[in-house]
A and B are shown apart, each in its own frame.
Chain A
Amino acid sequence: MHQLAPLSDGADKFIATRAAYGKALLELGNQHQDVIVLDADLSGSTKTAVFRKAHPDRFFNCGVAESNMMGTAAGLACSGRTVFASSFAMFATGKAWEPIRQTICVPSMNVKICASHAGLTVGEDGKSHQMLEDITLMRVLPNMKVIVPADSVETAEAVRLAYETPGPVYVRLSRASTPVIFGDDYRLELGRGSLLREGSDVCIAACGVELAEALIAADILASRNIEARVVNLACIDPIDVDLIVDSAERCGAILTAEEHQIRGGFGDAVAQAVVRHHPVPMDLVGMDDSFGQSGPAPDLIRHYGLDGASLADRAENLIKRKKR
């Protein structure tokens, strides 16, 4: 029933999802005249500058004024435009949450919020810039779709999907370069996850930068004679309930991994599906009620237990809780 997703053969290629966003946005803008892009003084970092250079007439820099940007996006959408609005995830979703709720989600406007520098992997800028609550803030909103792509290929797909899906969409992007996981013929569908590795001892469900860590964890577990299924659930809202139920039935235990607070975030979305449709033991890896700090991204991922080795240990402990 669930096909394995086509994986990249160039496993040593590293590209930041924000870079893939800039490229995909440019291509989208070349094809579709209705695409308008807004940024808030971070176009070099979010990579909307790539679009700005090619289509200066369809790009507006709002300055350091994220709430104003979101309201402007809603108004532009009233004139039939498809609006992409970008900033750092912290400010796009944090500073501007209420304008997003009232002016983008309540009237269901055609605005795509594509925010970069999400999560711990922002690194040295520290806790004021490490957005660890955006998945929660966006998935709680009615009408908002939430996509957290894991690599550059999936990001290009997320941009296409966001454009093709009417109404508000949130796409979460990262600053750091991350491994290219998917092959070029990978397709992302709304509300569909994908199977990356088959196994029946435990399922690791992940999104964003944690998908690569989940694959590392599965390798470590295999060396301990544990076969882990790895599923990618980039589309968090709507989430792939069928794939989650199938994984619960097959593996009997699900570990989730996210570069985000576990309260209200990705693992929480998976847990809701599990609790409602097929309860099995679960554990949630992510930030457990703490903020981050300044430091190099890989060190932070290890420090907070979000690396592949930590995931493997957590999965092994979870298996002990399975009903025999």
Chain B
Amino acid sequence: MTLSREKATNIRKVAREVRLDVVRMVHAAACGHPGGPLGMADFMTTLFLEHLNLTAENRLDDDRDRFVLGNGHTCAGYYALLAQKGLISKDTLLSFRKMGSPLQGHPNRNLDLGIDFSTGSLGTGLSVAQGMALGARLNGWDSRVYCTSSDGESQEGQIWEAATSAAHWGLGNLTVMVDFNNIQIDGPMREVMNVRDLEAKYKAFGWHAVTVDGHDVVAVDQALCAAKEVAEQPSAIIAVTTIGKGVSYMEDTSDWHGCAPNDEQLAQALEELSAPVS
């Protein structure tokens, strides 16, 4: 079933809120990574609102869904979504990256806030997500495990070790969403170290894999629905995105991978992101 019009509009509205929070949080911290989470906001919001079975009430239940942010540097958007789901207070969001905050510069496992696992070192997330999926299956839990990754992270060898074993073990309850924006720190991914066709690679490793427009919430929703129907293979959704989406000067450049806007740049970002949602 395709996503209803109302739901799609709501996802876009929440994604806009997430983007506004991301630029505010990174500005307040005066450092951090705005580009990635702006690009991921549409597919992450689709996942968090329509698919990920995690709420303030069930956050400690065995059979809830699990989420691992493999590209941990993009955590501002993750925290903003946990706030949307009522797991983190809005005030806490502005403590991002400050001394004593539970919202560390890279995620720090904190089940009370819904943060299922610590990440930050690229290449580690998918293995952990796979272990969670295996554990859920062993325990008979009806949980799905979702993990994000990125084009840059796909250069890490450990990703392909996990890709091999997750298919070998037939982990149908595991889905990875790859933020494919052709950007990494040192420049365009295809120039730095081309990872080529990730859909074809995951398929060759034995996965169910599709490529979607990561800003098309209907297409993302469909891909997530389809992944649930695949029982004996893990699923990879390659989400093609524009880094910095929604803030003109942050789009499609590595300059805003890890850089905070100043007051003036924040004002412009907030203005651009406040445009009405269709």
Q: Which residues of A contact B (CB under 8 A)?
A: 39, 41-45, 49, 61-65, 67-68, 90-91, 94-95, 123-129, 293-296, 299-300, 303
Contacts and interface: CB of A to CB of B under 8 A. Distances in A.
Interface centre among B29, B119, B123 (most CB of A within 10 A): B123
The 9 closest A-B pairs by CB, nearest first: A128-B120, A63-B193, A295-B99, A63-B155, A126-B105, A126-B104, A128-B106, A124-B97, A64-B155
A95 B101 CA distance: 27
Contacts of B120: 125-129
A142 to B, nearest CB: 26
Interface string B159-194: 000000000000000000000000011100000110
B105 A64 contact: no
Nearest to A292: B104
B240 to A, nearest CB: 19
B274 interface: no
Interface of B: 29, 31-32, 72, 97-101, 104-106, 108, 118-123, 152-153, 155-157, 184-186, 192-193, 195
By secondary structure, the B interface counts as loop
Contacts of B122: 64
Contact of B108 (A62, A90, A127, A129): A127
Contacts of B104: 126-128, 293-294
A299 B121 CA distance: 24
B123 A64 contact: yes
A61 B108 CA distance: 29
B145 to A, nearest CB: 21
Contact of A294 (B98, B118, B119, B193): B98
A128 B184 contact: no
B192 A294 contact: no
B152 A41 contact: yes
B106 A63 contact: no
16 contacts: A42-B186, A44-B185, A63-B193, A63-B195, A64-B123, A64-B156, A64-B184, A68-B157, A124-B97, A124-B105, A125-B120, A127-B104, A128-B105, A128-B106, A295-B100, A300-B99
